C-alpha cells in the first residue's frame, strides 16, 4: 500500500499542496495551487490554504495511506509549533498555519519548518546534495532563502529560523531590506532588487526575464547587474562557510537561471573572497531539483523525519 505525505508550500505569491510518496514523487493530479499575496487579509490566506489542501487530499487513492502533513513556510516562523509570521504576508503574525492544515487531517501529525530548510532537505533527499552531510540549500528568486544541514541533521535554531541567508549582511553594500536592516543579501541579490538596481543605471526593462535577455545580448548594465547579484550571493556563502564549514551549496530559484554562468559567477565570488581553503573548497552547484522541489522538501518532513533531529 502506497504511503503518502500531504506536502504544503506557503509563499508570498502562492500556496501549493500535493501528495508525495516515499520515493519523493508527486502523485499525478494531486498538485493544487491558490494565490496568496502580500496585501491579502488573513481570511483570504486561510481560505487559499484550506482550498489547496482540500483539493490535494481529494486525490488520495482509495488503497493508500496518508501518513501526515509536512509544511514549508516562508519565514520567519515561530518555533516548530506550526505558527508562522512570513515577512511578505503581513496579515499573518504568529498565525497557527500548522493547526489550520491539521484540522483537515484529524489525528495525523503535522510538521512545519521554514521553506529554506525544506529545500535543503529536498536537495539531500532527491537533489544535488545526496550523500552530503554539510549542506546549504538556497533559493534566489523574488526573495533569497536558505536552510542548513550540518553533520547530517537539520539545524533549526532556537526559533526555527536558522539558515536565513537572505538576511545576512554582505560587506560593501547598504541596500535597505524589508526586514529593516541594511546590506542584507536579499535586498541586494533578489530578482526584483537586481532589476531595480539595473534600472537606476539605465536599464529600461521591468522583469527578470527582460534582464536575462538583455544580459544574454551583451547589454553592459544588465550584465553588471547579474554579476552584482552573483557576487553578493558568493560573498554571503563564503561568510556562511567560514562560520559553519559547508561542503556544498545547491542554488535554485527562478533568478538563479538569469544567465547561463550565474552559478559559475557565484562560485568565483566564493573563491575570491578568502584564502581559507576550507571556505574556497565549498562547492557551489545548481539545484538538482525540479519545480517540485519545495513540495518534495515539505514531504521530506514526513518521509525523512530521520534528518530533522
Q: Does 177 bind Zn ion (CB under 5 A)?
A: yes
Q: Would strands 248-252 and 283-286 be described as parallel, antiparallel, or unpaired?
A: parallel
CA distance 223 to 169: 23
Among residues 42, 47, 8, 5, the alpha carbon closest in space to that of 22 is found at: 5
Smallest distance from the beta carbon of 187 to Zn ion, in angstroms? 6
C-alpha distance from residue 166 to each of 88, 228, 232, 233, 240 (Å): 13, 15, 10, 9, 11
**Which set of grid coordinates corresponds to residue 2?**
502506497
Between 24 and 116, CB nearer to Zn ion? 116
Q: List C-alpha distances in Å: 177 to 143, 202, 222, 242, 290.
A: 11, 22, 22, 24, 29
CB of 167 to Zn ion, least distance (A): 4
In the complex, least distance from residue 170 CB atom to Zn ion, rounded to whole angstroms: 11
Residues 121/127, Cβ–Cβ less than 8 Å: no
Site string for Zn ion, 110-149 (x = CB under 5 A): ----------------------------------------
Q: Which is nearer to Zn ion, 40 or 190 (CB)?
A: 190
Nearest approach in angstroms of CB 186 to Zn ion is 6
Closer residue to Zn ion, CB minimum distance, 181 or 268: 181
> Least separation, in Å, of the C-beta of 38 and Zn ion?
16
- Report the distance separating Cα 176 and Cα 63, nearest Å: 53
Shortest Å, Cβ 300 to Zn ion? 27
155 binds Zn ion (CB under 5 A): no
Q: How far is the CB of 179 from Zn ion (least distance, A)?
A: 3
Is cis: bond before 181, omega within 30 of 0?
Answer: no
CB of residue 147 to Zn ion, shortest distance in Å: 16
Q: Based on CB atoms, which residue is closest to Zn ion, 34 or 167?
A: 167
From the list 224, 216, 175, 217, the residue with the least C-alpha distance to 199 is 224
Task: Tell me the C-alpha distance between 214 and 230, whole Å.
Answer: 16
Structure letter (DSSP) for residue 169:
B
* R_g of the chain computed on alpha carbons: 19
Comparison of 184 and 232: residue with beta carbon closer to Zn ion: 184
Total site size for Zn ion, rule CB under 5 A? 5
Taking CB under 5 A as the criterion, the residue among 22, 91, 150, 181 binding Zn ion is 181
The residue within the footprint of Zn ion, chosen from 31, 167, 193, 228 (CB under 5 A), is 167
Binding segment for Zn ion among 1-9, 63-71, 118-126, 178-186 (CB under 5 A)?
A: 178-186
CA distance 235 to 171: 8
Q: Which of 184, 230, 233, 289 binds Zn ion (CB under 5 A)?
A: 184
Q: Which is nearer to Zn ion, 25 or 181 (CB)?
A: 181
Question: Does 268 contact Zn ion by CB under 5 A?
Answer: no
Interacting residue ranges for Zn ion, rule: CB under 5 A: 167, 177, 179, 181, 184
Amino acid at each position: 500500500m502506497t504511503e503518502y505525505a500531504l506536502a504544503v508550500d506557503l509563499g508570498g505569491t502562492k500556496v501549493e499542496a500535493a501528495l508525495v510518496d516515499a520515493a519523493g514523487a508527486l502523485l499525478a493530479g494531486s498538485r493544487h495551487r491558490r494565490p496568496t499575496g502580500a496585501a491579502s487579509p488573513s481570511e483570504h490566506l486561510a481560505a487559499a490554504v484550506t482550498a489547496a489542501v482540500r483539493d490535494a487530499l481529494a486525490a488520495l487513492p482509495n488503497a493508500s495511506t496518508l501518513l501526515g502533513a509536512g509544511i514549508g513556510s516562508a519565514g520567519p516562523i515561530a518555533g516548530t509549533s506550526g505558527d508562522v509570521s512570513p515577512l511578505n504576508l503581513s496579515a499573518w503574525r504568529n498565525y497557527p498555519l500548522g493547526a489550520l492544515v491539521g484540522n483537515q487531517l484529524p489525528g495525523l501529525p503535522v510538521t512545519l519548518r521554514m521553506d529554506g530548510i525544506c529545500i535543503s532537505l529536498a536537495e539531500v533527499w532527491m537533489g544535488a546534495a545526496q550523500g552530503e552531510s554539510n549542506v546549504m540549500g538556497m533559493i534566489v528568486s523574488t526573495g533569497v532563502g536558505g536552510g542548513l544541514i550540518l553533520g547530517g541533521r537539520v539545524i533549526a535554531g532556537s526559533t526555527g529560523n536558522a539558515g536565513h541567508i537572505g538576511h545576512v549582511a554582505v560587506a560593501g553594500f547598504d541596500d535597505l531590506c524589508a526586514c529593516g536592516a541594511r546590506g542584507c543579501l536579499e535586498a541586494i541579490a533578489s530578482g526584483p532588487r537586481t532589476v531595480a538596481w539595473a534600472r537606476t543605471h539605465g536599464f529600461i526593462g521591468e522583469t527578470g526575464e527582460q534582464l536575462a535577455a538583455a544580459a544574454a545580448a551583451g547589454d553592459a548594465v544588465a550584465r553588471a547587474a547579474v554579476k552584482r547579484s552573483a557576487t553578493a550571493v558568493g560573498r554571503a556563502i563564503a561568510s556562511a562557510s567560514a562560520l559553519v564549514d559547508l561542503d556544498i551549496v545547491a542554488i535554485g530559484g527562478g533568478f538563479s537561471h538569469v544567465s547561463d554562468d550565474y552559478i559559475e559567477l557565484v562560485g568565483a565570488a566564493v573563491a575570491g573572497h578568502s584564502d581559507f581553503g576550507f571556505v574556497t573548497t565549498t562547492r557551489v552547484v545548481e539545484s538538482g531539483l525540479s519545480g517540485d522541489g519545495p513540495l518534495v522538501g515539505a514531504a521530506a518532513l514526513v518521509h525523512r523525519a530521520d534528518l530533522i533531529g
